[in-house]
């Protein structure tokens, strides 16, 4: 699926559409700094019924949120240098016990997902808008 974001409120439609298409408990979010990964996550969690404050997990590496459907874990792997650091945070246990795991900057862990089913969203900031691809 392809979307274009012209205004911040456009994220609402994308969040609703993504929720209706979720079939797996892993969502990879790709995009450069400031592309809108955390903004999308805020809209997504609100639409899933979370009342938690959603922030970027840049320094904490993982944030935990509650929803009526279950726990959501929001990862930011940007600062992790290798796969050992990813395993050190216990990512496998999170994946096994979550309604949804949202992983920003998943590249350091992507090869380990071989054989698992997941969704992927790419966000391209063109300067005037955001071009979104969701699979």
Provide the 10 A C-beta neighbour count for residue 70: 13
* 122 beta partners: 30, 133
The Cα 91–Cα 128 span in angstroms is 35
Query: pLDDT by residue for the chain (135 residues), tens digit each?
Result: 999 999 999 999 999 999 999 999 999 999 988 888 899 999 999 999 999 988 887 778 999 999 999 999 999 998 888 899 898 988 999 988 899 999 999 988 888 888 889 999 999 988 889 999 999
Return the DSSP state at 112: G
């Amino acid at each position: 699926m392809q979307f274009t974001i012209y205004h911040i409120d456009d994220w609402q439609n994308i969040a609703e559409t993504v929720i209706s298409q979720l079939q797996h408990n892993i969502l990879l979010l790709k995009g450069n700094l400031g592309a809108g990964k955390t903004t999308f996550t805020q809209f997504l969690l609100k639409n899933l019924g979370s009342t938690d404050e959603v922030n970027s997990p840049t320094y904490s590496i993982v944030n935990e949120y509650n929803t009526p459907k279950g726990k959501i874990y929001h990862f930011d792997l940007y600062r992790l240098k290798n796969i050992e650091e990813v395993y050190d945070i216990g990512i496998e246990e999170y994946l096994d016990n979550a309604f949804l795991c949202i992983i920003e900057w998943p590249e350091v862990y992507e090869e380990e997902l071989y054989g698992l089913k997941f969704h992927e969203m790419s966000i391209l900031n063109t300067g005037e808008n955001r071009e979104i691809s969701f699979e």
